Amino acid sequence: MSTDPWGRVDDDGTVYVRTAEGERAVGSWQAGEPEEALAYFHRKYDELAGQVQLLEQRVRGTDLAPAQAESSIAKLREAVADAHAVGDLGALVARLDGLTELVGRRREEVKAARERARAEARTVKERIVAEAERIADETTHWKSGGERLRQLIEEWKAADRIDRVTEAQLWKRLSASRTAFAKRRKAYFAGLDEQREGVRATKERIVAEAEAIAGSTDWGATAAAYRDLMQQWKSAGRGSREVEDELWGRFKAAQDQFFQARSAVFAERDASLAANAEVKEQLLAEAEKILPVTDVRAARAALRGLLERWEAAGPVPRDQRDRLEGGLRKIDDAVRKAEDAEWKRSNPEARARAQSTVDQLRTSIEQLEKQLAKAQAAGRAKDVKETEEAITARRSWLAEAERTLAEFS
C-alpha cells in the first residue's frame, strides 16, 4: 500500500483521499505504480485548486456581480465535494467559504449602493417632475418651455430606475405636465390667432381710410387725420408678420403720397413768399433799434407802426417764420416790460405806500433814539445794547425804503 499526507492507494489499486470526515475513495489505479496513481490524482487536485484561485482573483480583482460569483462558488463547492482528486480538499472548501463571506459583504455593499442610487434617482426624478409642473403652470415662453420639457424627458431617461410604484406615479405626473403645457400653448395660440384677426381687421380699416384721403388738398385737416390714424395703428397691436408688412406698405404709400404732394405745394408757396421774408428781415432790424427802451411812449408808438407794416408784409416761408416771429416777439416783450416798470413808478398808490413806510421808520428811529438817551443816562447797559441793535436794524430798513421811494421820482 502506498501512502500520502492527503491520500493512499490500497493493495487492490483503490485510491483514497483523506478529509476531515474520513477517507473517501476517489478512483482505482491498475496500470502502474501507486506513486503514479497519487501523482495523477494530485494533478486533478491542482486543476481544482487552480479553478478556486482563478475565482478568487475574479472576485477580488474585478466587479463580478455577487449573483454570478455565488453561482461559480456553488459549482466549485460541488466539484470539490465530489472531486476525484487527492489533496487538501478542506483547504479548498475553506477558501470557498472565505469567498462566500466576501461575496456576501460585496452583495450588501452593492445593495447599499443600489439603494443610494435609487434615492438619488428619486431625488432627480422628483426635481424633474417639479420643474415640469412649474413649466406647465407658469411658463409663457412657449419655444423655450417646450425645449426644456424635451430636455427633462432625456434627463428622466438617463436617470437610474427606482421602485416601480414611485416610478409610475412620478411618470404619470410628468406626462400630465407635458399634456397640460401642450393644451395651454394650443389655447394661447388659438387666442393669438383670434387677436391677430382682430388686429388685421382694424388695420385694414385704417389703411382704407388712409388711402381714401391720400389725394386730399386740405393740408391741415388731412395731416391731423394721418397723425390720428398713425396713433390708431400703434394702439391696434401687431398681427402676423406677412399681413403686417403688406398693410404697413399700403399705409405708408398713402401717407407718402399725401405728404409729398403737400411738400411740393408748400415749396412752391414758400418760393413765392421769399420777398415777404426780405421785407420782414428789414423790419426786424429796424425794430431792434428800439432797444434799449429809454422812452416808453415813443418805443410803443414806433413798435405799433412796425407791427402794422409787419402784418401788411404778408406770410413768409415756413422755415423762416418761427425765427422772424420770435425775434419780433422778444422786442415786444422788452417794450411791455418797460411799460410795466413805468406804470409801477407812476402809480400814486404805490408811491403813497412807499412814502408811508419811510415816514413810519423815521418816526420809529426818533423814538428809539430818545429811549437810548434815557437808558444811557440811567446806566442800563442791557437796555442800551438792545436799543442800539433796534436802531441799527431800522436804519437799514429805512435805507431800503428810501431807495424804493426814489424810484417813483
Residue range 8-58, pLDDT digits in tens: 888 888 888 888 888 889 888 877 788 888 889 999 999 999 999 998 898
Give the pLDDT score at 210: 93
pLDDT category of residue 388 using cuts at 50, 70 and 90 = confident
Residue 83, phi then psi, degrees to nearest 5: -65, 135
For residues 116 and 298, what is the distance between their CA atoms, to the nearest angstrom? Answer: 106
Look at residue 1 and tell me whether its pLDDT is greater than 70. Answer: no
Q: What is the pLDDT of residue 131?
A: 93
The reported pLDDT for the residue numbered 47 is 93
Phi, psi (rounded to 5 degrees) for 33:
-75, 155
Mean pLDDT of 366-385: 85
* Distance of alpha carbon 293 from alpha carbon 338, whole angstroms: 7
C-alpha cell belonging to residue 131: 420643474
Mean pLDDT rounded to a whole number for the chain: 87
Q: What percent of the chain has pLDDT over 90?
A: 30
Q: How far apart are CA 325 and CA 316, in angstroms?
A: 10
Pairwise CA distance, residues 2 & 9, whole Å: 5
In which band, very low, low, confident or very high, does the pLDDT at 409 lie, cut at 50, 70 and 90? low
Predicted confidence at residue 408, as pLDDT, reads 66
Please tell me the pTM assigned to this model.
Answer: 0.39
- The rounded percent of the chain whose pLDDT value lies above 70 is 97
- DSSP 8-state secondary structure symbol assigned to residue 363: H
State the pLDDT confidence band at 394, using cuts at 50, 70 and 90.
confident
Q: Where residue 341 falls among pLDDT bands split at 50, 70, 90?
A: confident
Average pLDDT over residues 309-329: 86
Burial class of residue 403 in the structure, from the number of CB atoms within 10 Å of its CB (0-12 exposed, 13-18 middle, 19+ buried): exposed
Residue 310: is its pLDDT beyond 90? no
Average pLDDT over every residue of 76-90:
90
Question: Quick one: pLDDT at residue 92?
Answer: 92
Per-residue model confidence as pLDDT tens digits over 46-57: 999 999 999 889
Note the pLDDT of residue 357. Answer: 85
Q: Which of 218, 206, 185 is nearest to 248 (CA)?
A: 206
pLDDT of residue 352: 75
pLDDT at 359 over 60: yes
Q: Please give the average per-residue pLDDT across 132-158, as a whole number.
A: 90
> How far is residue 144 from each of residues 141, 150, 151, measured CA to CA in Å?
6, 10, 10
Q: What is the CA radius of gyration of the chain?
A: 58
**Residue 267 vs residue 128, higher pLDDT:** 128
